[in-house]
């Protein structure tokens, strides 16, 4: 069974770009954990496929039982990722990739998932600013917020919390390095 792979790094560093290339090149190698939610299923959504749909009481009990790696509340509904849902991906013979932030990394480290951690770093904070600006998704406020969070992420990476650091300077090189890590075992 392959160990889950946790991809983290500052917002705008290029995680989605690199992961998209990976999933395009290897469409069947990876699986995603199914999140749990208290929101009602929408038309066509299948329990256990799109989400694990649970009641508020069940969700709160799962929190108490320590079932979640992380959970949050958005617009009145609970959402979360359970340790079991990540294990299920490995059991199904796929590699599970978790694209999460520093808090998520710390949370995964507290579980028995035995994950491998890769950090995608920008060449510099200035380049991160340029990419976030270039992406056109940020207001001046959200840009500063993301850059502050990026500094914290970079400091955390300096503590040696990850198994590998991939600097996303030249995209093709970064992609190759990430790919090497993903298929290392």
Least CB distance to ligand ATP at residue 130 (A): 8
Least CB distance to ligand ATP at residue 74 (A): 17
**Single residue of 4, 5, 8, 14 touching ligand ATP by CB under 6 A:** 14
Under the criterion CB under 6 A, does residue 56 sit at the interface with ligand ATP? no
Using CB under 6 A as the binding rule, the residues of this chain from 150 to 169 that contact ligand ATP are 168
- Distance between CA 153 and CA 136 in Å, rounded? 22
Residue with tokens 């959504």: 45
Q: 66, 102, 97: which is closest to 84 by C-alpha?
A: 66
**Single residue of 45, 142, 171, 183 touching ligand ATP by CB under 6 A:** 171
Using CB under 6 A as the binding rule, the residues of this chain from 67 to 96 that contact ligand ATP are none
CB 123 within 8 A of CB 169: yes
In DSSP terms, 74 is beta-bridged to 77
Q: 162, 182, 170: which is closest to 17 by C-alpha?
A: 170
* Contacting residues toward ligand ATP, per CB under 6 A: 9, 11-17, 131, 134-135, 168, 171, 174
């Amino acid at each position: 069974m392959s160990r889950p792979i946790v991809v983290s790094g500052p917002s705008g560093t290029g995680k989605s770009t690199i992961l998209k290339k990976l999933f395009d090149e290897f469409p069947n190698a990876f699986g995603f954990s199914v999140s749990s939610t208290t929101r009602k299923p929408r038309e066509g959504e299948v329990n256990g496929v799109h989400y694990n749909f649970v009641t508020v009481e069940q969700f709160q009990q799962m929190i108490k039982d320590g079932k979640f790696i992380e959970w949050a509340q958005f617009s009145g509904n609970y959402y979360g990722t359970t340790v079991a849902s990540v294990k299920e991906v490995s059991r199904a013979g796929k590699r599970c990739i978790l694209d999460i932030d520093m808090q998520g990394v710390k949370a995964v480290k507290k579980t028995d998932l035995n994950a491998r951690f890769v950090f995608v770093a920008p060449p510099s904070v200035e380049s991160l600013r340029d990419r976030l600006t270039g992406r056109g998704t940020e207001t001046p406020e959200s840009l500063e917020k993301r850059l502050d969070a990026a500094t914290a992420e970079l400091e955390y990476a300096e503590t040696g919390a990850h198994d590998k650091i991939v600097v996303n300077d030249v995209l093709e090189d970064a992609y190759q390095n990430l790919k090497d890590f993903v298929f290392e075992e």
